[in-house]
Structure 1
Amino acid sequence: MTPLRQRMLEDMQLRGLSARTQEYYVAAVRQLAEHYHRSPTQITEEDLRQYFLSLANEKKVARATATIALCGIRFFFEHTLHRDWTTLRFVRPAREQKLPVVLSRDEVRRVLTAIRIPVYRACLTTIYACGLRLLEGAELQVGQVDGARLLLLVHGKGKHDRYVPVAPALLAMLRTYWRTHRSPLWLFPAPTRRGLAHSLVHDGGPVTDSSLQSAFRRAVQKSGVSKRAHVHTLRHSYATHLLEANVHLRIIQDALGHRSARTTQIYTHLTQEVRATLTDPLTHLVDGLC
């Protein structure tokens, strides 16, 4: 490890950034250096300007990717190299107007029942039923389940913890699944090759996010659902289904761990869009009857 990277890691640790955020920030600076084939200390402010333009115009990266790159690079130059550059304060990734994909309740059921390996099915079911992010679900520990109060303690992004309610049926499923492996730590321990068939065998760590993504992708194909769904689609679906059931937006915001209500409000557009698509067909349906 270079002294420069070590310095950046120490700065991020002092700032209280999570291990996952540190990985993303280091990767962002590494990709910048690889783009110019030189040390980041030799990169100029104009180089940064052109780099962010290339991300937007040539690579056409998603807003989330561009935001991570900006945050990582900004941290490095401002806090590790102490450079006060206007460009770092000026750049703002363009907001995307796309609404997230949402599965219907029946589509969720079809996808989850298409998963045959118990650890993947149990974990992905929990991700949907509690509205979790991928890593929040994959890295759940046994001690985070409060069965007496029907609550799940979730370690969210940026070290922000929250409690989410657990349905009695989900709690029963989790208890039944846990008895198949009895890991003292992980709720969803990663299976070994043999453990895919014999769930009592695991390697001591949690199930990986990549294996969950692969399992979900295969299940979507097998289920016949044609939407471009990913694991995070389960979280979007959870929020939308709660809103359609008339759960208050603030309660959904707390369950999702959103700091701002504006982030949660996107789901109101989703439900309104669904209702709007019904208006015309329903009008034709009752034509001549009323």
Structure 2
Amino acid sequence: MTPLRQRMLEDMRLRNLSAETQRSYIHYVANYANHFGRSPERLGLDDIRNYQLFLVQQRQLSPESINCFLSAVQFLYTVTLDMPWSSAQFPRMKVPQKLPEVLSLDEVAALFSHIHILKHRAVLMLCYGSGLRISEAVALQAAHIDSHRMLVRVEHGKGAKDRYTVLSARLLTLLRAYWKLQRPVDYLFPGTKAGTHLQPATVREVCHQAAQMAGITKRVTPHLLRHSFATHLLENGTDTRAIQVLLGHQRIDTTARYTAVSPQTVSRLSSPLDQLPEAAPPKRKRGRPRKHPAPEPQG
């Protein structure tokens, strides 16, 4: 490990960035340096711009991925290398605002019916039944399940924030059956190595395979189950701010986009046009009789 990478890692740890963010930043910076075959200390703003163009034109990466690269190099240069550059020198790409796809209740039930390993079904049911991110679900411990108050405690979620979310009675029954069978020690869903938890990539693959077996044509991921959790709550009349708390969203407008996802919610709304008082139909104006010109005298 180079001294620069070590220093960047230390800077990220000091600022309590998540392990996933640290891996992502190191990945993008390493690819950036390898592209030019030089240390980032010997590269500058023009090189960042040229590499960004390469990612857009040659690699054809998504705007989200390119913005992740920009966040990584902005941290490297402004924090670790202490360059006097402003955020305006790292212009972000505009990300298209797409509505998240969701599953119907029947599709969710069909998906779970094709997940036969208890551990995998429990993890994915947490994503749907409690609205957890996959990284939050795999990192749960038994102590985070509060069966008395029917709550799930999420520690160090996105933004290093703790929160509570709902615990389904059906999910609690499944978790108790899983606990009796597995008796996990550290994490509720342990990985193959001692002291590790189940990897999100493994759960994503299980989710994908179950969706194929269920005949679901949508691109099903654990995060899609989280979207479906929020949308179905909204359709049941749950207040948007309550959903915001359950999901751990910092901003209400992030949660509000689920209003646009739910056709049922939109269809219950009435147009203000229907609230206008009925007006009498306009009367037709009677036109004045046309004056015919007097006949010209003959001879």
With the shorter chain as reference, the TM-score category is: 0.7 to 0.9
Aligned residues: 267
CA deviations 1:147-196 (Å, max 9, x no partner) are 11111111211211110011222112211111111113221223x5xxxx
When the two structures are superposed, what TM-score results if normalisation uses the length of structure 2?
0.83
Q: Give the C-alpha shift of residue 56 in structure 1.
A: 3.2
Corresponding residue of 1:279: none
1:130–1:165 CA contact under 8 A, matched in 2? yes
The yes-or-no answer on 1:211 pairing with 2:202 is yes
The yes-or-no answer on 1:253 pairing with 2:253 is no
The yes-or-no answer on 1:226 pairing with 2:226 is no
Q: Give the Cα–Cα distance (whole angstroms) in 2 for the partners of residues 87 and 49 of structure 1.
A: 14
Q: Percent identity?
A: 41
In structure 2, what residue type is equivalent to 1:188?
A: F
1:140–1:188 CA contact under 8 A, matched in 2? yes
Corresponding residue of 2:170: 169
The yes-or-no answer on 1:141 pairing with 2:141 is yes
The yes-or-no answer on 1:32 pairing with 2:23 is no
Q: Give the Cα–Cα distance (whole angstroms) in 2 for the partners of residues 245 and 88 of structure 1.
A: 43
Q: Secondary structure at the match of 1:180?
A: helix
1:45–1:87 CA contact under 8 A, matched in 2? no
In structure 1, what residue type is equivalent to 2:27?
A: A
1:138–1:207 CA contact under 8 A, matched in 2? yes
CA deviations 1:8-67 (Å, max 9, x no partner) are 112112222222222111112112112222211111211111222333344332333223
Corresponding residue of 1:286: none
Q: Give the C-alpha shift of residue 274 in structure 1.
A: 8.0
Corresponding residue of 2:283: none
The yes-or-no answer on 1:50 pairing with 2:50 is yes
**Which deviates more from structure 2 when the two are superposed, residues 260-269 or residues 11-20?**
11-20
Equivalent residue for 1:241, pick from 211, 216, 232: 232
Q: Secondary structure at the match of 1:262?
A: helix
1:139–1:188 CA contact under 8 A, matched in 2? yes
When the two structures are superposed, what TM-score results if normalisation uses the length of structure 1?
0.86
The yes-or-no answer on 1:74 pairing with 2:65 is no
Q: Give the Cα–Cα distance (whole angstroms) in 2 for the partners of residues 114 and 150 of structure 1.
A: 26
Structure with the bigger percentage of helix: 1
Corresponding residue of 1:2: 2
| Pair 1:265–1:59, CA change in 2 (3 A) | farther
| Pair 1:268–1:58, CA change in 2 (3 A) | farther
What runs of 5+ residues in structure 2 fail to find an aligned partner? 268-299
Corresponding residue of 1:119: 119
1:103–1:237 CA contact under 8 A, matched in 2? yes
CA deviations 1:216-246 (Å, max 9, x no partner) are 1110100001112222110111111111111
Q: Secondary structure at the match of 2:181?
A: coil
**Which deviates more from structure 2 when the two are superposed, residues 146-155 or residues 16-25?**
16-25
Corresponding residue of 1:187: 188
2:235–2:265 CA contact under 8 A, matched in 1? no
Q: Secondary structure at the match of 1:158?
A: coil
What runs of 5+ residues in structure 1 fail to find an aligned partner? 193-201, 277-290
Larger radius of gyration between Structure 1 and Structure 2? 2
**Which deviates more from structure 2 when the two are superposed, residues 45-54 or residues 119-128?**
45-54
Q: Secondary structure at the match of 2:164?
A: strand
2:63–2:93 CA contact under 8 A, matched in 1? yes
Corresponding residue of 1:159: 160
Q: Give the C-alpha shift of residue 86 in structure 1.
A: 4.8
Q: Give the Cα–Cα distance (whole angstroms) in 1 for the partners of residues 91 and 64 of structure 2.
A: 14
